[in-house]
Structure 1
């Protein structure tokens, strides 16, 4: 039981780290000027960027699972 709980927590930590990495990359790609709030173009860029990373990660994971 303890090993399963540890494995679940490790997976959560890996997922969180991956999301932070995606956001760092996408932030650098999409943010061209600082401001007090996100405009619609920047928000759309961030959403699309993270979605592409997630889709790519899922595709690669599924491909490896089929091997």
Structure 2
């Protein structure tokens, strides 16, 4: 099988796309964890204080809201550097 044949294989393309999305999501979660942890946790302790927990929840929620806003804006205005994509929004519970 040549590289051209491999590149044209729809099953392989689907697998690559799914793995790429998974990698992006993992990078996003890692960055979010790092950013919110640095912002909210003054000093590590045996238990998570309620103030720290509230800060972490708010930080994550702001990040999700901002990400959804940017994605929606880029989908509505592809000229801003975005393109319509199949990526889904983050679902906040």
Do they superpose with TM above 0.5? Answer: yes
More RCO (CA 8 Å, sep 6+): 1
Which structure has the greater CA radius of gyration?
Answer: 2
Aligned-partner Cα distance in 1 for 2:34–2:74: 26
Per residue, is there more helix in 1 or in 2?
A: 1
Task: Summarize the alignment of residues 8-19 of structure 1 with structure 2, pairs less than 5 Å apart.
Answer: 8-19=18-29
TM-score by length of 2: 0.69
Structure 1 unaligned residues grouped into runs of 5+: none
Q: What displacement does 1:37 show?
A: 1.4
TM-score by length of 1: 0.93
Residue 23 of structure 1 corresponds to 33
Query: 35, 38, 42: which is aligned to 2:52?
Result: 42
Structure 2 unaligned residues grouped into runs of 5+: 1-10, 78-93
Give me the CA root mean square deviation.
0.8
Structure 1 stretches of 4+ with a deviation exceeding 3 A read none
Q: What displacement does 1:36 show?
A: 0.6
Aligned-partner Cα distance in 2 for 1:43–1:2: 42
